[in-house]
Structure 1
Amino acid sequence: MADAPLRDPNPEPGGAHADPALRPEIARARTIARLPLNAIRAFTAAARLGGMAAAAGELGLTPGAVSQQVKTLEDRLGLKLFEREARGVRLTAVGADLADAAHQALDGMAHAYERALARTAPGILTVGVAPSFASLWLAPRIGGFLKAQPDLAVRLDSQRHHVDLARGEADIALRWGRGDWRGLVVLPLGPEPLTPVAAPALAAALRTRTDFAPACLLDQVRLHFAELDDWGCWFRAAGVAMPEVIAAGPGGPVFSESTAVIEAAEAGQGIAIGRPSLTADAIAAGRLVQLFPDIRADDGWGYYLVATEVGLRRPAVAAFRDWLMAEIAKMPR
């Protein structure tokens, strides 16, 4: 009698001895295990936003890093996903097909993650907030929200970089920028006109000058926020010739945080360009005075409430949004 064939005591999953009905599932599981998820995220963002630079801004990477991730994916597939052109990139046919499927998959995963996160910590609300807004506007008012929501704990995450709402780093965010964040619900917190402010004693001294006019600020100590040309914007709105502004130079210290600019102005160290959200309380308390309240400039920057659509369905997030917008409506502009 012929010997029976030997059986592998530890057959490889999905091998010849696997249940034929399970072989497609096992093959799919192997494919999933090999998916380069970071590269797929980079590719999907580049496809959705129309370029590597825009995707880099959304993902917090450099354009070169996004390009490398996309190349890694193309090398793994042995296919071109983008056609490189002089003005940017264009999806190939296979790239468009993969981008559509990947976007749907990642979007579904993000929504499921947010729903799970909402169930795991229903009593904690994490708010990502720009540091200056946190210090000068939100901190003095957050007690009112907690009083209205006594069963809710609030964590304020005040960092300069934007928290990733899709990844669940925060439930809702208060961001500084121009409001151009795709894929999110973005609500402006009102206009932020620029106007010079100073401590009362300095303002009173300036107003005694016979030449008290916008141009007289050129020979004063001006406090600057490093990231924006807020003084240049205001001088243009005031009709002061830019050659005069340029010739005057910075005329004072430059700060990396706008909170420090306002604090220096309150201490009488110079004149600052103020925005309502950062100076309203100091003006109301008499710590700062507007020098030319009728001359205001708009540089297009401001604060925004930002959330995902799924996140806003959470009662705690919706309650914070409603409270915040009601408080914002009370502010003098």
Structure 2
Amino acid sequence: MDRPDLPLNGLRVFEAAYRQGSFTRAAIELRVTQAAVSHQIARLEDRLGVALFVRASGGLVPTDEGRALYPVLEHGFDAMARTLDRITGHRNIETLKIGVVTTFAVAWLLPRLPAFRRDHPSIDLRISTNNNRVEILREGLDMAIRYGAGSWPGLESEVLLEAPLAPLCAPEVAEYLTKPENLGREVLLRSYRSDEWPRWFAEAGVPCPPLTGPIFDSSLAMAEIAAEGGGVALLPVDMFTRHTADGRLVQPFSTVVTVGSYALTWPADRPPTPAMVDFRRWLRAASTGLTASSAG
């Protein structure tokens, strides 16, 4: 059976459009017009005899055929780049694209990156931060570090760190918190995960008061507001040791509750690259070291 003569440029345009989720953003990345992107995709679909995208009001929605094609192209382009580097005598640099929930990136990962770069000079690590909402394939990532209960459909995962939560607040607020029941008269800052405060109060053995405080999608934002006296935040304590060490935040109660962990995730149907293997091994060693020191 004859295979269609596929244009390399059209495949490259498809890869960018899939990753960006928009013909317009793909055009900006590729420095061409939006019409040129649309034309290349139309030609590619015509050659393949299938639709690769469905145009919807919210953006591009890949078809089953588009979702099947994207990871093959992504790894193919990466493999070609590595081979060309070897042929031309360049240092064999492997790009690794990681999405990281912002709290973990700022508090844990970024301070350790110099050590990773020193130990793995052949890996070009590219990090994008998020508020725990990430789509690995759609965003053109290789892996993602996220927070949750450990079940992500279609993904393999490895727990890096448990993340026990405890109330943190400014020192002047903590003065009035002699027992958990006192929290009922404070502003309780909330994340979009609605079960966290009820589970903490259950662990503390007292009824959960009505939860009416503002809702945030960032633990960093909650920490800053709490440090300014704007309320009490339920936060992963180990991610805010700098705040507690300098006295900006205080932990008034020893009770903690674990409702999730920080985990490394990657697509289950994608063979890991050498850089993915090295990064996973490094994370495992570094996070085990932190866990051991925290326990002490």
Match of 2:215 among 254, 264, 267: 254
Match of 1:272 among 210, 233, 252: 233
Alpha-carbon deviations, 1:217-249, whole Å to 9, x = none?
11123222244342222112212124xx12xx4
Cross-structure match for 2:274: 315
Q: How much has 1:273 moved relative to structure 2? A: 0.6
2: CA distance, partners of 1:238 / 1:111: 50
1: CA distance, partners of 2:240 / 2:3: 62
Q: How does 1:94-109 map to 2 (within 5 A)?
A: none
1: CA distance, partners of 2:257 / 2:113: 29
Q: 1:216 to 1:282 in 2, by over 3 A?
A: same
Match of 1:304 among 244, 248, 263: 263
2: CA distance, partners of 1:118 / 1:277: 39
TM-score (norm 2): 0.65
3-state SS of the aligned residue for 1:158?
Answer: strand
Structure with the higher fraction of residues in strand conformation: 2
2: CA distance, partners of 1:200 / 1:136: 21
Q: How does 1:50-129 map to 2 (within 5 A)?
A: 110-111=71-72, 113-120=74-81, 122-129=93-100
Match of 1:150 among 98, 121, 127: 121
Higher mean C-alpha displacement, 138-147 vs 212-221: 138-147
Match of 1:326 among 274, 285, 296: 285
Q: Which has the larger radius of gyration?
A: 1
TM-score (norm 1): 0.59
8 Å contact kept, 1:127–1:172: yes
3-state SS of the aligned residue for 2:162?
Answer: coil
* Alignment RMSD: 3.7
3-state SS of the aligned residue for 1:157?
Answer: strand
8 Å contact kept, 2:164–2:236: yes
Does 1:35 find its partner at 2:50? yes
2: CA distance, partners of 1:312 / 1:134: 25
Cross-structure match for 2:148: 177
User: In percent, how many aligned pairs have the same letter?
Assistant: 29
1: CA distance, partners of 2:145 / 2:161: 12
Number of aligned positions between the proteins: 241
3-state SS of the aligned residue for 1:180?
Answer: coil
Cross-structure match for 1:237: 203
Match of 2:189 among 209, 219, 223: 223
2: CA distance, partners of 1:312 / 1:148: 23
Which stretches in structure 1 are left out of the alignment for 5+ residues?
Answer: 1-23, 40-60, 71-101
